[in-house]
């Protein structure tokens, strides 16, 4: 995939993060590729810290209006948490030093660790710019946590999904149990796949509302994701940012509260010059152009 005027080259700090490739394949579109293919793109701690840093930065980058998220290599979007690495250190590892640990203090440490992990993944959801996840191959555990934070999801027909946490003795704690029932509106399906840890197919995911499209191959899924990003990037960035903000805000609140927030948001945002540009371009039958945010 080529690059279009890589904005990182003109910024003070390039988009250089360990285990991630960040490129700019089209105007106003960023492509974030998880890059640890030899380990099925499974996550170690530095990766989720970098994931959060990347999406926090992309959120405020005026050269970015949409983000494509993929996994490197032919085998996996991401197989989730690198369980072997996690079992040797951190909260899943044996942290005993031979002395009795105060349960309250140990619990507080674990709580902080989980919340930091959650925040790094939630950075995708909080990113002002819409994110499209294009999945393929193994998409397990943390892979679904990440995908559910995206605004749109597409997948190759070869993708295999699973919420694996019950198979390693824990309840999933990075977001899938909270987000999946809301995304699908299907509590029975969400509970079944979470409680059984069984593999499920792209066809099931599409039927449940988890996916927008299923494509035959990884390349076609990535191409579809890029197509969606380009289309979003062609719209008013003020309108796009507002739309994502209002949908996400209203999702977890009563209708009346969502409507109230919408009116307050738009009392300022509706005054943008983007409205005039969009209306005039429609009348003149030309493609509108918009200022950077």
pLDDT in tens, 14-64: 999 999 999 999 999 999 999 999 999 999 999 999 999 999 999 999 999
Phi/psi at 137 (5° precision): 55, -145
Query: What's the CA gap between 173 and 114, in Å, rounded?
Result: 7
20, 42 Cβ separation under 8 angstroms: no
Query: What's the CA gap between 12 and 157, in Å, rounded?
Result: 40
For the chain, percent of residues with pLDDT exceeding 90: 84
pLDDT tens, N- to C-terminus, the chain (293 residues) = 555 656 655 556 899 999 999 999 999 999 999 999 999 999 999 999 999 999 999 999 999 999 999 999 999 999 999 988 887 766 666 554 545 789 999 999 999 999 999 999 999 999 999 999 999 999 999 999 999 999 999 999 999 999 999 998 999 999 999 999 999 999 999 999 999 999 999 999 999 999 999 999 999 999 999 999 999 999 999 999 999 999 999 999 999 999 999 999 999 999 999 998 988 887 787 889 999 98
User: What domains are there in the chain, each with its CATH number?
Assistant: 7-233 (3.90.226.10), 237-283 (1.10.12.10)
Query: What's the CA gap between 114 and 142, in Å, rounded?
Result: 13
Phi/psi at 259 (5° precision): -65, -40
Helix-then-strand count for the chain, H and E:
11, 9
pTM score of the predicted model:
0.92
70, 77 Cβ separation under 8 angstroms: yes
Query: What is the pLDDT, as a whole number, of residue 8?
Result: 54
Query: What is the pLDDT, as a whole number, of residue 287?
Result: 86
Query: What's the CA gap between 154 and 260, in Å, rounded?
Result: 32
What the block records as the tokens of 277 is 């540009």
Q: How do residues 256-281 score in pLDDT, each as one tens digit?
A: 999 999 999 999 999 999 998 988 88
Which residues are within 8 A (CB) of 111 and not within 5 positions of it... i.e. 6 or more apart?
A: none
What the block records as the tokens of 110 is 């674990």
Q: Which of 216, 203, 78 is nearest to 135 (CA)?
A: 78
Which residues are within 8 A (CB) of 218 and not within 5 positions of it... i.e. 6 or more apart?
A: 74, 134, 136, 137, 156, 158
């Amino acid at each position: 995939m080529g690059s279009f005027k890589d904005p990182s080259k003109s910024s003070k700090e390039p988009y250089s993060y360990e285990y991630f490739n960040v490129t700019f394949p089209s105007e106003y579109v960023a492509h974030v590729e998880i890059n640890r293919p030899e380990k099925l793109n499974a996550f170690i701690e530095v990766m989720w810290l970098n994931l959060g840093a990347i999406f926090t930065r992309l959120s405020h980058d005026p050269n970015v209006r949409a983000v494509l998220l993929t996994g490197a290599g032919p085998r996996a979007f991401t197989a989730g948490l690198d369980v072997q690495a996690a079992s040797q250190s951190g909260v899943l590892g044996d942290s005993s030093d031979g002395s009795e640990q105060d349960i309250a203090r140990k619990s507080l440490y674990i709580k902080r660790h989980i919340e930091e992990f959650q925040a790094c993944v939630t950075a995708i959801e909080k990113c002002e710019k819409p994110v499209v996840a294009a999945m393929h191959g193994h998409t397990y555990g943390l892979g679904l946590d990440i995908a559910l934070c995206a605004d749109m999801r597409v997948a190759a027909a070869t993708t295999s999904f699973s919420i694996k946490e019950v198979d390693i003795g824990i309840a999933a704690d990075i977001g899938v149990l909270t987000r999946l029932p809301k995304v699908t509106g299907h509590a029975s399906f969400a509970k079944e796949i979470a409680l059984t840890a069984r593999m499920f197919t792209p066809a099931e995911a599409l039927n449940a509302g988890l996916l927008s499209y299923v494509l035959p191959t990884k390349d076609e899924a990535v191409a579809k994701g890029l197509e969606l990003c380009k289309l979003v990037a062609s719209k008013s960035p003020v309108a796009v940012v507002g739309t994502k903000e209002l949908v996400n805000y209203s999702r977890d609140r009563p209708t009346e509260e969502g409507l109230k927030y919408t009116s307050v948001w738009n009392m300022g945002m509706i005054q943008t010059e983007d409205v005039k540009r969009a209306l005039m371009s429609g009348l003149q039958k030309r493609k509108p152009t918009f200022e950077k945010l």
